[in-house]
């Protein structure tokens, strides 16, 4: 069951060592710290994380399944990376899925999830007034997570979290405008109001507008 633990400064999602290593490698590729075309040395990963070759190879197979590396027989594993066009395409795909997700979530949300959404939006308003960007970015993730969960579709929830992970790190160097916090608050308010009104069409429209503006902000 979802909680508001993500709001704590001490909160850390529990992950296995393999999950941490996989995530770190993917982040390095998405951000360009490992440039596209660079050969990934299994032995270096083993030394860096004190792991044997078998789990490292399994990690690289999973990353290849995610499209961020490519294994070439007799040559090795190479970073694929993401172009600006790839990220744009991802935004368009995410928009389609997120609009449908919000529509379903408005229709299917359970009482405890609605309570969590209300509390999260209250925190969003408070930290916007406090001008706390780091906290707001974390709260925004939590707000999304509650909605994804409320749609009650495991595959959709998993896919949207994956897209968010890529977009988050692809946008790591973006400088947010001065009016970012109040602007995004109002976008989320429109989504939240659709939930309180149980208006799936309004929620879908608000989500579409939010995603469109999110795409513009990264340009």
- Where are any strands of DSSP class E within 49-181? 69-72, 76-79
Q: 153 and 120 in one domain?
A: yes
The answer to whether position 1 is within a domain reads: no
In degrees and rounded to multiples of 5, residue 14 shows phi and psi of -75, 125
Q: 97 and 64 in one domain?
A: no
- Where are any strands of DSSP class E within 73-205? 76-79
Which residues of the chain register pLDDT less than 70? 1-4, 6-13
pLDDT for the residue numbered 10:
52
The answer to whether position 5 is within a domain reads: no
Looking at 62, 79, 96, the residue that finishes a domain is 79
Provide the domain limits for residue 132: 84-217
Q: 126 and 75 in one domain?
A: no
CATH of the domain at 167: 1.20.120.530
Q: 162 and 72 in one domain?
A: no
């Amino acid at each position: 069951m979802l909680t508001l633990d993500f709001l704590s400064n001490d909160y850390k999602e529990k992950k296995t060592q393999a999950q941490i290593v996989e995530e770190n490698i993917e982040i390095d590729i998405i951000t360009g710290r490992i440039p596209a075309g660079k050969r990934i040395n299994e032995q270096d990963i083993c030394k860096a994380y004190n792991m044997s070759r078998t789990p490292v190879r399994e990690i690289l197979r999973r990353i290849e399944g995610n499209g961020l590396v490519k294994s070439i027989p007799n040559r090795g594993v190479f970073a694929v990376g993401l172009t600006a066009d790839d990220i744009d395409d991802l935004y368009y795909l995410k928009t389609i899925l997120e609009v449908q997700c919000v529509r379903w979530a408005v229709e299917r949300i359970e009482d405890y999830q609605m309570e969590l959404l209300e509390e999260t939006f209250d925190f969003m308003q408070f930290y916007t007034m406090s001008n706390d960007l780091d906290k707001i970015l974390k709260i925004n993730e939590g707000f999304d997570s509650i909605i994804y969960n409320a749609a009650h579709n495991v595959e959709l929830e998993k896919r949207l979290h994956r897209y968010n992970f890529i977009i988050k790190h692809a946008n790591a160097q973006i400088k947010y405008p001065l009016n970012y916090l109040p602007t995004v608050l109002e976008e989320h308010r429109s989504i939240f109001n659709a939930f309180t009104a149980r208006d799936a069409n309004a929620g879908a429209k608000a989500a579409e507008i939010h995603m469109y503006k999110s795409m513009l902000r990264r340009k």
